[in-house]
Amino acid sequence: MHIPATLVRGGTSKCWLFHQVHVPADRGELARMLVAAYGAADPVELDGVGGATPTTSKAAIVSASPAPGVDIDYLFAQVGIGDATVEWTSNCGNCATGVALYAVAKGMVPIAGDRTRVVMRNTNTGAVLEGIVDTTGGVVQHFGRQTVPGTRAGGVAVDLTFRDPAGGTTGALLPTGQAAQKLPVHDAEPVLVSMVDAGAPVVLVDADGAGRGGSETLDQVRADVPWLRAVRHAAAPLMGLVEPGHAPGDAVPKVGLVGPPVPYTTTLGEQVAAEDYDVSVRMLSMNAPHPAIGLTSAVALAAAGLVKDSVVHGIAAARDDGWLRLGTPAGVVAVRCSDVRDGRPGRVTVRRAARLLADARIYVPDTGEQRAA
């Protein structure tokens, strides 16, 4: 097989995008195709186009959407690394910015002046997102100067808006009905957490009460991974994500520490002052410290910032202009809630950047061809 695909960078992720017409419709066949294309069975993804890290072993299947008011459907795939499987339960906001740029660049939506709106539906979760893509001069931009924390590389500006993100997985912004609560944790002290479902189900731990600051280095967060895993295991059944006594998968709920702003140095060596941001945050991604923050987690923090008595609101409320600035290891990510009704955000927006890296045809071994050769 020889399958067309486009490699995009969206924010701090790399993701191969496939048009749906070129790949199997059956989910099992599609997973086998992706595993073969990425070389996923191998821990270094040597025999394929995978990048062998969680942020570079991603894919999305893109298609024109049949849904009214939606331009593009995309199915997100987290492709295994040293593991011949594909995980289908999550979304990736970074990839969504790449999908928006791809949809414009490949002519799937008409260009509309200097800024082109792409309405996307993530078919894994049902979430609807809008990408506003820079099309200055009414033409496709392939390169740009917009940056995001975590890389100095420029890209095309894409503002990504999550529409009505609260309760997407569990039906409620606060799945336990509480803004914050003491969570008993196996083999550890109870911790004060807010369990929030917006963008993704997320457990936010009050760092201060847990003897941390929320602005730890990645190495310090790494040392806390077993403890933070225990926290998410304790939270998952309370959020209705698993039956009591069962362990959650690695993708959700997401978990992290939040704390007050303090001066710190980013992983790229830049100095950040306490007044440059509102909340410190250190998230895990697939049981490892996230180098910045997943966009769905950023949405959850923004939504939690609207909830009185949440662990985020206790540290900072959104500023007058609606933006909440998150201090992540890689730098400051600004996120904005708007269209707020009954304490739930109708829209949450993050400013991002994306770039097409390569258009390709991928040689995909399949069992039959391997046997024949």
* CB nearer a copy of itself, residue 96 or residue 198: 96
Residue with token string 């760092």: 207
Q: How far apart are CA 373 and CA 364, in angstroms?
A: 13
Contact flag: residue 293 with a copy of itself (CB under 8 A): no
What's the chain's length in residues? 373
Question: What helix, strand, coil percent values describe the chain, rounded to 5?
Answer: 20, 35, 40
Contact flag: residue 139 with a copy of itself (CB under 8 A): no
Q: Which of residues 166-225 bind a copy of itself (CB under 8 A)?
A: none
Contact flag: residue 151 with a copy of itself (CB under 8 A): yes
Contact flag: residue 125 with a copy of itself (CB under 8 A): no
Contact flag: residue 355 with a copy of itself (CB under 8 A): yes
Contact flag: residue 83 with a copy of itself (CB under 8 A): no
Contact flag: residue 46 with a copy of itself (CB under 8 A): yes
Q: How far apart are CA 19 and CA 64, in angstroms?
A: 9
Tokens of 173: 């912004």
Cα angle 357, 359, 362; round to 5: 115
Among 149, 155, 253, 345, binds a copy of itself (CB under 8 A): 155
Contact flag: residue 276 with a copy of itself (CB under 8 A): no
- One-letter identity of residue 193: V
Paired sense of beta strands 188-198 and 72-79, if any: unpaired
Stretch that binds a copy of itself, among 64-72, 142-150, 233-241, 252-260 (CB under 8 A): 142-150
Q: Are 44 and 52 in contact (CB under 8 A)?
A: yes
Among 53, 63, 89, 217, binds a copy of itself (CB under 8 A): 53
Contact flag: residue 164 with a copy of itself (CB under 8 A): no
**Which positions ≥6 away from 316 have C-beta within 8 Å?**
260, 261, 278, 279, 305, 324
Tokens of 125: 């979760």
* CB nearer a copy of itself, residue 35 or residue 75: 35
Tokens of 324: 């909440």
Stretch that binds a copy of itself, among 24-32, 50-58, 95-103, 316-324 (CB under 8 A): 50-58
Residue 19 Cβ, how far from a copy of itself at the closest point, in Å? 16
* CB nearer a copy of itself, residue 3 or residue 200: 3
Q: How far apart are CA 364 and CA 34, in angstroms?
A: 8
Contact flag: residue 352 with a copy of itself (CB under 8 A): no
Look at residues 118, 156, 105, 114 and name the one whose alpha carbon lies nearest to residue 135.
114
Q: Which of residues 11-40 bind a copy of itself (CB under 8 A)?
A: 12, 14, 39
Residue ranges binding a copy of itself (CB under 8 A): 5, 7, 9, 12, 14, 39, 41-42, 44, 46-49, 51-53, 55-56, 141-145, 150-156, 355-363, 365, 369-373
